Amino acid sequence: AIIVDVENIINALKDKVDLVTLARAREKFNSLSSEGKKFVSNISQLTALEATYKSALAVVKQIEAIDPSAKDFVSKTIAAKAAYDKLATDALKNTVTNYMIVENYLPIALIMKEIDAIRVNTAEFRKDYEAAEGTYNALTAGVTGNPENTPAPTDKVVVAKQRLVTEYGPKIEKFKI
């Protein structure tokens, strides 16, 4: 990264704080050599903004780390929602500009968790199964698994839904009596 680029990103944050950009500014600053870092004239502004928005910035980074194809997709999505809900003020919540990602992932993650929790040997099995099947069908309407030898979709919500179809569809089918 070039020093001027880092300074320009930090300066842009004066007018409008965007936590995704704030995180990017820190990444770019960290990618500079030790010598280059010494020449960034407005690093104190970056540090001050990071201190002010520390909790919200942590949520932004947590959301960016969610991978719908990863084994920890469900736990990371639920944890990101909980972290967002813990933010102290609506003003802080409003700075988490990538929260819509969690909103889109959450129903998928929750039904995955619900399907994993179904147990055939419980008194609630039929009710749990029917509720899960209804939600699963609503979320996966029109979605198919990603056929082999085709590029993965770039829309991560589609990736999550395809995973729901390919991994959890067979589980739902197994419960049918």
Beta strands in 100-160 (DSSP E): none
> What's the pLDDT at 1?
60
In which band, very low, low, confident or very high, does the pLDDT at 148 lie, cut at 50, 70 and 90? low
Report the 10 Å Cβ neighbour count for 156.
Answer: 17
CA–CA gap between residue 139 and residue 72 (Å, rounded): 20
- pLDDT over 90 (residue 108): yes
Contact present, 96 and 87 (Cβ < 8 Å):
yes
CA–CA gap between residue 66 and residue 3 (Å, rounded): 30
- pLDDT over 90 (residue 8): yes
> What's the pLDDT at 146?
64
Least confident of 13-17, 26-30, 137-141: 13-17
- pLDDT over 60 (residue 149): no
Long-range contacts from 122-130, C-beta under 8 angstroms, 24+ separation: 125/175, 129/172, 129/175
CA dihedral 77, 165, 133, 116 (to 10 degrees): -50
